[in-house]
Amino acid sequence: MKSPRQFAIDVLVATAQKGQPVDQVFDRQQSGQPFGDPRDTHFAMAMIYGVLRWQGYLDQVIAGFSSHPLAKMKPLTLAALRVGAYQLLFMDRVPASAAINETVQALKMAGQPKWLTGFANGLLRALARGKDQLLPASSREALFLGHPAWLVARWQQRYGDEVAEAICRANNELPLLVLRVNTRRSGRPEYIRLLADAGIEAEAGIYAPDAVRLIGYRGAVTALPGYGEGLFQVQDEAAQLATLLLGDLVVGRYLDGCAGLGGKTSHLAQLLPIGGEVVAVEPHSGRSKLLRENLTRLGLDATIVAGELQDFAQEQPQSFQGIIIDAPCSGLGVVGRQPDIRWQRAKGDLPRYATRQLALLGQAASLLAHGGVLVYATCSTEPEENDEVINAFLATHPDFVRADAKAFLPAAAHGLVDSQGCLRTLPHQGLDGFFAARLEKA
């Protein structure tokens, strides 16, 4: 069985080489080698996510102690050095000797030559001796190094240095776990009391009426009280607010055109009056399976269509009163929860996402009844995927108008609505970075 450090190194290498989400890589590799002690799982996860959050900063530190350019290092070597450096700089409870020796041992177990393990050992020991002289991780420069330079530059230009720093700081902190109470089976006060009885600290959400924020919880979601009984769904408050932009639901037909795992599908089904119908379109078979399982656990109904929205639209089904398009996007608003995203995206990706997003809006528009509502949402902070997509859509669809989101959100969320009437959140506000617009069809 691999040690947690070996496991962490392997996951980091596979994530970088395959460009796949780190949580999927983690789950896939752990299924082949489950740890006997849950503490080992948590330790490996802490190292993996910590390295991804601070990768740029760690690389600068390593470069300062290395006689070899990082660009010429093998992925395995660099991943091991990052894991060792992260332990030395951020994990105070791990003795320096253990951080160094066990990381070097992981390289030995991977069959690396003696000269390379000696190089790693010497570098990490030098770092341990000199770490007090390094740039503090709390500094603005270090926080900016924890993000791609192109992305930091965009945030600085758009928001200024202070807000850019606040965003980076929030992205490098452990995010709160946020739930949406399934009001078909429980109320928010009742569920918070259930958590308290289990010794779990929680509080009501700030912005969304059914949100619950867990304070300091680091256990498995499946271990939370009421999981098997379907009392809640994991969902950030920003995403919960996006669904509310559809307004008060009536007995009719509603569509989630990019359902994914079903956070918004289940929210629609939860809010829909008896006699209404929710249809969820999801092309990926694995996600469709998990979507169905989530709905079953929550005791909610929806018709799941396996396929692309474009194909569904060509079937000319009966029109919908409301449609939500939570479009595939760069994910640059959720790099706090998924830190690998920041290193897997480039500025040149944004136009490609925007083209797809605009096409999805057009397909959804053809399915919407007159007088209906189309909600467009992304978990991105970038205007190419948000404002520019909406403006391009409205320019070619004169029968649609953009409505003021304030009229459909709780008063507590009105400060999250911009001058164009769109919902816009940023990580330093205690939310995922999110954008949503309500479009009404004449």
Tell the CATH superfamily of the 237-441 domain: Vaccinia Virus protein VP39 (3.40.50.150)
**What confidence score (pLDDT) does residue 29 get?**
85
**Does 177-234 carry CATH code 3.30.420.40?**
no
**What confidence score (pLDDT) does residue 200 get?**
97
Q: How many CA atoms lie within 13 A of 296 on its CB side?
A: 7
**What confidence score (pLDDT) does residue 285 get?**
86
Calpha distance 246→268 (Å, rounded): 9
Calpha distance 274→184 (Å, rounded): 11
CB 208 within 8 A of CB 241: yes
Calpha distance 58→88 (Å, rounded): 11
Beta strands in 235-360 (DSSP E): 253-256, 277-282, 303-306, 320-326
Calpha distance 71→299 (Å, rounded): 52
CA-based torsion, 51, 69, 75, 79: positive or negative? negative
**What confidence score (pLDDT) does residue 130 get?**
96
**What confidence score (pLDDT) does residue 169 get?**
97
CB 127 within 8 A of CB 61: yes
Residue 435: its H or E element: strand 434-441
Strands 202-204 and 253-256, how do they pair?
unpaired
Calpha distance 274→296 (Å, rounded): 17
**What confidence score (pLDDT) does residue 406 get?**
98
CB 208 within 8 A of CB 410: yes
**What confidence score (pLDDT) does residue 152 get?**
98
Cα–Cα separations (whole angstroms), residue 201 to 67, 192, 240, 337: 48, 8, 21, 20
**What confidence score (pLDDT) does residue 20 get?**
86
The residues that are catalytic are 379
Cα–Cα separations (whole angstroms), residue 376 to 194, 246, 307, 360, 387: 35, 10, 20, 10, 11
CB 377 within 8 A of CB 215: no
Domain ranges of the chain: 4-144, 177-234, 237-441
CB 397 within 8 A of CB 365: yes
**What confidence score (pLDDT) does residue 27 get?**
87
DSSP calls for 207-260: SSTTEEEESS--S-GGGSTTTTTT-EEE--HHHHHHHHTT-S--SSEEEETT-T
At position 159, the amino acid (one-letter code) is Y
**What confidence score (pLDDT) does residue 186 get?**
97
Residue 232: count of CB within 10 angstroms of its CB: 26
pTM over 0.75: yes
SS3 state at 160: coil
**What confidence score (pLDDT) does residue 19 get?**
84
What tokens appear for 351 in the block?
């136009």
- Over the range 111-133, which residues count as b (16 or more CB within 10 Å of their CB) and which as e? ebeeebbebbbebbbebbeeeee
Residue 372: its H or E element: strand 368-378
| The CATH number fitting domain 4-144, selected from 1.10.599.10, 3.50.50.60, 1.10.940.10, 1.20.990.10 | 1.10.940.10
What tokens appear for 26 in the block?
């983690």
Residue 170: its H or E element: helix 161-171
Q: What is the pLDDT along the chain (442 residues), one digit of tens a residue?
A: 789 999 999 999 999 998 889 999 998 888 777 777 888 999 999 999 999 999 999 999 999 999 999 999 999 999 999 999 999 999 999 999 999 999 999 999 999 999 999 999 999 999 999 999 999 999 999 999 999 999 999 999 999 999 999 999 999 999 999 999 999 999 999 999 999 999 999 999 999 999 999 999 988 899 999 999 999 999 999 999 999 999 999 999 999 999 999 999 999 999 999 999 999 999 988 889 999 999 999 999 999 999 999 999 999 889 999 999 999 999 999 999 999 999 999 999 999 999 999 999 999 999 999 999 999 999 999 999 999 999 999 999 999 999 999 999 999 999 999 999 999 999 999 999 999 999 999 9
